[in-house]
Chains A and B, each alone.
Chain A
Amino acid sequence: MSVMSLTLVHAKYSIIETIRIPIAVIGTLVFPALAMLFFVVPQPSVSQDPLFATQAIISMSVFSVMVGSLFSFGLGIAENREKAWEPYLRTLPAPGMARVLAHILSTGTMAIISLIPLLAIGALFTAATVEPLRLVVGLLAVAVSSLPFMFLGMSIGYLLPMKAAIAVVQVTFFALAFGGGLFLPPVMFPDWLNTVSQFLPSRQARDFVIWVVQGGELHPMTWLGLLAWSAILLPVVLALVKRDEGRRYR
């Protein structure tokens, strides 16, 4: 069986499992939409300005996908490692790569679905504008730039037991969201924070998607940074998958 077909099989059953528990799906859909309603829509200076409103929606989209990736991978993997089904799957003739790719595919699918209400609110209640083609390319850019968050979530999940993973994921996503300018736009940052911010994958993802959707100038740090984060974290993930033997007790 090829890695590709096994990837699709694992992704398929993972998505079936997720949607059989509807409340989990609702949470994924509602969380970013609520953030949008609370943080963006009530501020006319942002929501009624086409440029800022679009950027705010992009920031929220990156935030939503980032949170989805960190939680789904970090907590999902940590939880699975404490169950006996995961060790069983490891005895099947599927290479570790297929399981990693399947997790990316299923979580990615759910994350993209979670953007639908976000974009709907943006279209209905703000002045944000985007050409249809730019929207499609923008969604692809969100997907690509979320890779570092997926790998980060996976590393946390394989490295830590469930309870530790919850704490680490929460701290990580908060730091990345604020530091990356997803809640407050980076123009409001002092210089030192702006400099630090440019090294964060959240800032790089935000700037990358804004560039894809709105054009303008792309700082080399942005795409180099995204590449670097992915290149560093992917081998870490693969090594952790290979080494993993389920939860360690001492």
Chain B
Amino acid sequence: MTVLASLTNVSRTFGDITALDDVTLDIRSGEILGLLGPNGAGKSTVISLLAGRRRATTGIVSLFGGDPAEARNRQWLGSTPQETALPESLRVGEVIDFVGAHFATRVSTAQLAAQFGLADLVRRQTGSLSGGQKRRLSVALAFVGNPRLVLLDEPTTGLDVDARRLLWEALREQHDRGVTIVVTSHYLEEIEALAERVVVMSEGRIVADDSLGGVLARVALRLVHLETPHPGAVAALDGVARREGDTYFVQDSDAFVVRLVRSGLDFRDLTVRGATLEEAFLSLTARDGAR
């Protein structure tokens, strides 16, 4: 598969803060790559380097075989403004035309508006749109130039469930047309819905790079809370990623409960809840650190 963009041994610092620490990553043609990790993990920095918005402190960033800081190498790249950034006094159609004018092979405004459910809003000034509508417009802008690679930084943060599903649907359609997509997210659900390959970042490093299934199998997705006089023995059971007080991080809570009961260890007040993404990845990073 062709590599559309890559980072090779890239580090980026902001003053004393190291946002990226020796990251190497290939983005291959045709994939949807989910970039996952807690706040401050370096996801947005990766996106801004690929979009030519920032420069690497050390290492090489390559986009379509060239330097992303050169305008001509961005001809086949689509990216998204923050939805709060849209110029409020311009109309939806004008914003699409403005961005579209940069590309030799642009999609018509009417067609793009239809694809992203903006057809009724073309004459409206962006300042009058709802948050969800602004977000749809922002994401649509990434696709106006018929791009080969699209970078989406948190495309659905703050959207309600319906709006999120609509947007995922539009993204999957674009992917079916052959567009390669890099999407960062806080939401495991979003990555599960979209991504085929998942890269997990933590503290400026890549801690996992695998298929969706491969990554899901490695993270602790359930938190089991229980009280027991033998916490050490419970933590030593198969499938426990780590323990924090009376909470045990496990991949499969059903299998864990079966094992716990069979072990004959005393316990009470057992509750199970799904781990948040951050908790899930904390266990992944903790385990990687221990290895």
Residues of A in contact with B (beta carbons under 8 Å apart): 1, 5-6, 9, 13, 16-17, 20-21, 83-85, 87-88, 90-96, 242, 245-246, 250
- Given known contacts A13-B90, A13-B94, A91-B77, is B54 in contact with A85 (CB within 8 Å)? no
Having A91-B51, A93-B77, one finds 9 other A-B pairs with CB under 8 Å, namely A1-B102, A6-B101, A9-B98, A84-B81, A93-B72, A93-B102, A95-B71, A242-B69, A245-B53
A-B contact pairs, 17 of them (CB 8 A): A1-B103, A1-B104, A9-B102, A20-B125, A84-B81, A85-B81, A85-B85, A87-B48, A87-B81, A88-B82, A90-B51, A91-B53, A91-B74, A93-B75, A95-B71, A245-B54, A250-B15
Q: Is the interface of B mostly helix, strand, loop or mixed?
A: loop
Q: How far is the CA of A90 from the CA of B74 in the complex (A)?
A: 10
The chain B residue with its CB closest to the CB of A98 is B71
Please tell me if the beta carbons of B81 and A88 are within 8 angstroms of each other in the complex: yes
The chain B residue with its CB closest to the CB of A12 is B98
Q: How far is the CA of A65 from the CA of B134 in the complex (A)?
A: 36
Please tell me if the beta carbons of B85 and A245 are within 8 angstroms of each other in the complex: no
Q: How far is the CA of A94 from the CA of B71 in the complex (A)?
A: 5
Asked if B87 is at the interface (CB within 8 A of a chain A CB), the reply is yes
Q: How many A-B residue pairs have CB under 8 A?
A: 73
The chain A residue with its CB closest to the CB of B142 is A91
Please tell me if the beta carbons of A93 and B89 are within 8 angstroms of each other in the complex: no
Asked if B86 is at the interface (CB within 8 A of a chain A CB), the reply is yes
Asked if B84 is at the interface (CB within 8 A of a chain A CB), the reply is yes
Q: How far is the CA of A246 from the CA of B44 in the complex (A)?
A: 15
Q: Mark B40-75, 1 if CB is under 8 A from A, else 0.
A: 000000001001111100000000000001011111
The chain B residue with its CB closest to the CB of A245 is B54
Please tell me if the beta carbons of A84 and B103 are within 8 angstroms of each other in the complex: no
* Chain B residues whose CB sits within 8 angstroms of the CB of A96 once the complex forms: 71
Greatest chain A CB density within 10 A among B71, B75, B80, B103 is at B71
Please tell me if the beta carbons of B102 and A6 are within 8 angstroms of each other in the complex: yes
**Which 5 pairs show the lowest CB-CB distances between chains A and B?**
A84-B85, A88-B81, A20-B89, A91-B51, A93-B74
For residue B112, give the distance in angstroms from its CB to the closest CB of chain A.
Answer: 15
Please report the total number of B residues contacting A with Cβ < 8 Å: 32
For residue B12, give the distance in angstroms from its CB to the closest CB of chain A.
Answer: 11
Q: How far is the CA of A92 from the CA of B145 in the complex (A)?
A: 10
For residue A139, give the distance in angstroms from its CB to the closest CB of chain B.
Answer: 29
Please tell me if the beta carbons of A17 and B102 are within 8 angstroms of each other in the complex: no
Asked if B79 is at the interface (CB within 8 A of a chain A CB), the reply is yes
Asked if B99 is at the interface (CB within 8 A of a chain A CB), the reply is yes
For residue A213, give the distance in angstroms from its CB to the closest CB of chain B.
Answer: 37
The chain B residue with its CB closest to the CB of A249 is B14
The chain B residue with its CB closest to the CB of A21 is B89
* Chain A residues whose CB sits within 8 angstroms of the CB of B89 once the complex forms: 16-17, 20-21
The chain A residue with its CB closest to the CB of B84 is A84
* Chain B residues whose CB sits within 8 angstroms of the CB of A5 once the complex forms: 101
Please tell me if the beta carbons of A88 and B85 are within 8 angstroms of each other in the complex: yes
- Given known contacts A93-B74, A93-B102, is B90 in contact with A16 (CB within 8 Å)? yes
Please tell me if the beta carbons of A17 and B87 are within 8 angstroms of each other in the complex: yes
**Quick one: which of B80, B85, B104 contacts A83, CB cutoff 8 A?**
B85
* Chain B residues whose CB sits within 8 angstroms of the CB of A88 once the complex forms: 79-82, 85
Please tell me if the beta carbons of A9 and B101 are within 8 angstroms of each other in the complex: yes
Greatest chain A CB density within 10 A among B82, B90, B98, B99 is at B98
